[in-house]
Each structure stands twice: as structure tokens, then as C-alpha cells.
Structure 1
Amino acid sequence: MSSIKTPKKIAAIGSQSSKTITILLDQSFFIFAGLASFWLAWLVFREGLATGGWWLVGLFFVVWAIVSYLALPRLHRILSNMYVPNYFIGRTRTADGILSDPINLSVRGSEDKLHKAMTAAGWVLADDITPRSAWKMVLTVLSGRSYPNAPVSPAFLFGRRQDFAYQQEVDGNPRRRHHVRFWRCPDGWLLPGGHRVDWLAAGSYDKSVGLSLFTFQLTHKIDEDIDIERDYIIESVKKSEKYIRVTVLKDFSTGYHSRNGFGDSIRTDGDLPILEVGRIKTDDNVTASTRLGVIMDGTIYDRHPRNHETLLEELWGRRPPQILIGGGLMILASLFTIGQMLVDFSSWPTTLVQVANIDGIDINAANTMLSMMAGFNVLLVVAEIVLVGLLLRGSSRARISLLSVAALAIVTESLSVTIGRINASIMLLLISIGVHIMIMMLFSSDAARYFTERR
């Protein structure tokens, strides 16, 4: 006897099918954006090489920026989603999904006691990554000025970035510093072997500033012997708080020689010390708060732990910067289209004659064709603005639609680029392609996807 599909079952099947299609489209756009960024780097290189002269002076820097900050990070994200295990293996990950620093420290105790222990030992709570703090970090690194609260790059564990990080600057130089990131363990979560801790941490020492081996981005370079930094953190805290005890899980992970997510060599014996801070006395009226910074392209591999659901709802309840920046870029692209239309209207008679001569048609037919094209562009601009508005309200369909528009723009504009001397028209096309690639990067990011899913 065949089962009867109720309206609820039919709706559930339809919803599941729609979700599957959305996932496939998301993955396709995610990959397309990465490939398009490599294509843009090739276009810039090709056009610059064909032109020669002064253009070659800035060519290297333009191509480097595109490859390092757009193409290679997205390529690593695509590849790491396929080969990096989706469970705890004692390693953090970069925002690009590459295995990064090892977990080399753990803590038992409450957050306020952990904050007190670190502060008493002379460690400084790092600032969150914001446009202002990031810019200040760049200026202080270049000038060598002190920045005791300088932000640290995001690393990911349990599918989220660190809850907070502490650091110690060396000789007032932001290029060299001790730093350690902390993650709160999920409720009920146990280490391999059944050990229970409240916090996991990854400590390392920044010895200089250089280029990442994997993405060629400017970043801090760490000292390879991270056990020295781990022991330094422990000793500094033990000296300042007499109530702290340390137990060690021997051979927690196999000692190995490897590299972190930025290509720096790392070496460890595999032991995992546990800082026992539960006996530290604190002021019950003062509780240190955990700050959560902006996740610019957070790699969320797993569902967040249950005890972080409230935090997750608070974070994604607000519009993430990927949505706001992407929406702003889309509106700018629409305004650019309007500007082009106004220029065309100002020279309408000349354009009519040119189109008529090229296509071999009369003036009336050329006028009709250009009017239809102008009308289509007007409708497209209106549709884009409406879709941006819907996206700001959390529409997943609007996000997919805008991704489709950006992909189509990249394809059509790429076909319009020809080999020859760089002129204003080619420059505008290359800039427009770059803007639409940025839009695709932002709207296909995890932050944008989770925002629309939860809304």
C-alpha cells in the first residue's frame, strides 16, 4: 500500500530540495569566485605586459595583491574543505582553512580567574580586529612604534575564532611579541582520552614580519620551537599566582616537525600542560568580559557548540560586514552603470550613427535597439538595488541572485577585454571585474551564508 504524501510532507520535501539546490549554487559560486580572481590577475598581467612602459612599475604590486589576498586564500579554502579532517586533531586553522598552530596549552577554571592570572603575569589583552585596530597595527609595524594591545590574526577551533588573546610586546617593538589565543571548550566536551578542561590555547612567539609561504601575504613569522613559548607562558603565570598548579598530559599528540598556516616551521614534543587556575581568588563583583571581533571571512566548519548558541544568535542577528560591504559595492556598481548610461545619453546622436554604420541598419532601428538596451540596464539597476535591500533583511534568494548577477558581469566584462594598450575603457573594465569578484567573495563567504540561513 503506497503511502500518502500529506501537504506537510510535500512542503518538507520541497524545502529540502530548495536547500540542496542552494548549497550546490553556493559551492559553485564559491569556486567560481576563486577561479575568477586568478583570471583577473592574468588579465592585469597580460594587459600590462602588452602595454609596457610605466604600467609595468605597478604591475607586480597589483598582481601580487590580487593573488595573495583574493586568489590563493580562496584556493586554499576550496582545497582544505576537501582534505582537512572535520574533527579535533589538536591543530587550529587559519581563516583560509589551512592547518595552523598546534594546541599546546589547556586551562581548568573560570574565565574571570583566567583573565586575572594572565593580567597578573604581565600579559595584555589584545584588541579585536577592526578597521581602526588593523590600520593602527600596520602603521606601528612600519614605524616600529609600540602597540601593547595590538590585535592578533584570527585562528579557528571548534568552528569559531579565538574567544580572546593575550600578548607581551618585546622591547616596545610590535614586530616581536609573545602571544597566546584561548578558546572556551564546548559544554560537555572531552579531550581525546577523556580529560576535561575548560579552555584550550595556542601560544607562539612572533619573531619578525615577513611574507606567508602559502599566500605571500604580509604577516608575523613565528619561532619554530613553540614548546619554549608554551613553557614561558606557564612560568610567567606561576610566578605571579601561587595558587596555580600545572599537570601535564604526556605525549598528548605525537611530536612532529611541520608548518603552521602561514608556512612557518613548527616543532613540539606533543605534551599538553593543564593550568589549574580554579584556586585563584577573584573579586566576585568584577567579571572580565570576553570580546568577539569581526569575522571577515570566518571558516565555520562545524555547527557551533550548544553553549555558544546565544552568542551565535547575537552575532548573526546583526548584519555581518560581508553583507554590508558587498551591498555597498553592488550599489556602487549600479551607480557606475547609471553614470555610463548618462554619458551615452549625452552623446546619443553620435552613438546612433555609429551603431547604424557598424550593424548596417537605419537610424530608427538603431534607436529602437539602443532604447531597449537602455531600458534593460535601468531595470537591471532597479532589480539590483531591490535585491540588496532584500539581502539586508536576510533573504538567501536575494544573495544567490546577486551572486548570479556578479558572475554574469564578470563573464561579459571579461569578454570585452582585448589585448592592446591600456586606456580608460580597459582600466574601467578591469576595475569593474575586480569589484564584482569582491562582491562574489563577500556574498559567498560563510558569514554571509550563515546570516541568510539563520534569518
Structure 2
Amino acid sequence: MRIIKDFSTGYHSRNGGGDSISTDGDLPVVDARPVPLPASELPRQTDSRDRRPAPTMVGAALVIIRALAALALAVTLFSTPGEFADVTLGESPADQQTTTAAVIFVGIVVLVFGLGEVFLAWRIFLGSNAARVIAMGLSSVSILVQAIDASTGTTSITLEAGLAGLATDILVLLALSSQRARIYAKRQRVPAVPPSLAPKRLPS
């Protein structure tokens, strides 16, 4: 190892992967060429951006919570469709039958949405940028709809109704729009090379 003095100005910062940098300006140079390497082992590229950051895991967990809420609502709609029909249209049997079918249809839509959210959370956890953008888009639409409903007086956001979902959507936006989540989702992934395709080292 040799050291190049005053290679740069000393500073404290962070790199693109979020790791802390603290340097005095000197540059140590390590020559690893004399280190023996087995012929069957390839040099492995390392990148701090390949480590899954906390905002990505939190965002995926919040999307899972949103999915569980949708699945719970779907189960409720499937298990007691008649109760929703009674509350909506009174005692008319024909109207109750029509509304029961409508409630079941809504339950199917909610079930599909919940399963889609589970898949979306899994893709976010794996680092898919498209899934991250879709999740943020769904949260933005949900927040906008609730804001319009609250401003027009259609619904009121209370602790019992609406507040938990609104808070979840806001937290999803905060987590997945963070710099670390964005860098992780947009990083370039280097495919692994199987040993059979690895270049052979020539004897020295």
C-alpha cells in the first residue's frame, strides 16, 4: 500500500448509495495483484446500492398493509352481502337480490385489487422501479380523492373512518419517493456469470 498525500480536500459527505464519507484528503492505494485467486472463482463486483434500503422495505410493508385491508374488506363483502343489501335498499326482495349481486361484484374487484397490491409489494421489495412508481401513483390518486371528498363535505376523515388509510398512503409516498429508494430501484443490475461461462485464467 502507498499513500498519495493531499489527493483531495478533506470533507464529510455521502456517496450515491447513502454511505457516509469522511476523508482527510489522502488517498491510500492498495495493490491486490499479488493476492492469489482460485481459477474457479470470479471477481465479484460490489455496490452499496445493491443493499436494500430501509425506505424500500418500509414502503413494501405499507403496501402489504394496504393489501391486507383490501382483502379483509373483500372477505367481509363475501361473507355478509345481504346485510349491505338490507342497509342500502330496504326490504324489497328484488332490490335486495340486485344489490347483493352488486356487493359480490364489488367484493371481487376489491379482492383482485388486494392480490394486485400483494404482487406490487413483492416487486417493490425486489427493487422494481415500475412497481414503485405504480404504488406512488395509487397513493396519490387515493389522497386526491379523499381530499376532494373532505373538501366537498361528501365524507369526513375521522379516526374510525379514513384516517388510517390516508396516513398509510402518505407514508407510502414518503418512503418510496425518498432518494435511497429511488437509487435502489434505478440501479443497474449486473447479471451473475455462471462458472461454466467464466473466462479461464492463464497460468503466470
Q: TM-score, normalised by structure 1?
A: 0.31
CA contact (8 A) 2:73 2:110 kept: no
SS of match in other structure, 1:448 = helix
Instruction: Name the counterpart of 1:403.
Output: 136
Q: CA RMSD in A?
A: 3.3
Matched to 1:332, the amino acid is I
In structure 1, C-alpha distance between the alignment counterparts of 2:159 and 2:20, rounded to whole Å: 46
Instruction: Name the counterpart of 1:340.
Output: 73
CA contact (8 A) 2:77 2:107 kept: no
Query: Paired residues, what number?
Result: 159
Extract unaligned runs of 5+ from structure 1. Answer: 1-106, 115-154, 164-181, 185-196, 200-277, 279-309
Instruction: Name the counterpart of 2:108.
Output: 375
For the pair 1:325 / 2:58, whether they are aligned, the reply is: yes
CA contact (8 A) 1:162 1:183 kept: no
CA contact (8 A) 1:414 1:433 kept: no
Instruction: Name the counterpart of 1:424.
Output: 160
In structure 2, C-alpha distance between the alignment counterparts of 1:386 and 1:420, rounded to whole Å: 31
Q: Which of 172, 184, 192 is residue 451 of structure 1 equivalent to?
A: 184
Deviation digits for residues 165-188 of structure 1, max 9, x if unmatched?
Answer: xxxxxxxxxxxxxxxxx347xxxx
SS of match in other structure, 1:362 = helix
CA contact (8 A) 2:120 2:135 kept: yes
CA contact (8 A) 2:53 2:181 kept: yes
In structure 2, C-alpha distance between the alignment counterparts of 1:371 and 1:342, rounded to whole Å: 10
Higher helix share: 2
Which structure is richer in relative contact order (CA contacts within 8 A, separation 6 or more)?
2
Q: TM-score, normalised by structure 2?
A: 0.64
In structure 2, C-alpha distance between the alignment counterparts of 1:430 and 1:156, rounded to whole Å: 38
- Deviation (angstroms), 1:345: 3.9
List structure 1 runs of 4+ shifted beyond 4 angstroms.
155-161, 415-423
SS of match in other structure, 2:47 = helix
Higher strand share: 1
Sequence identity percentage: 17
CA contact (8 A) 1:323 1:442 kept: yes
Extract unaligned runs of 5+ from structure 2. Answer: 29-44, 190-204
Instruction: Name the counterpart of 2:119.
Output: 386
Structure 1 157/407 Cα, relative in aligned 2: closer, same or farther at 3 Å?
same
Deviation digits for residues 45-91 of structure 1, max 9, x if unmatched?
Answer: xxxxxxxxxxxxxxxxxxxxxxxxxxxxxxxxxxxxxxxxxxxxxxx
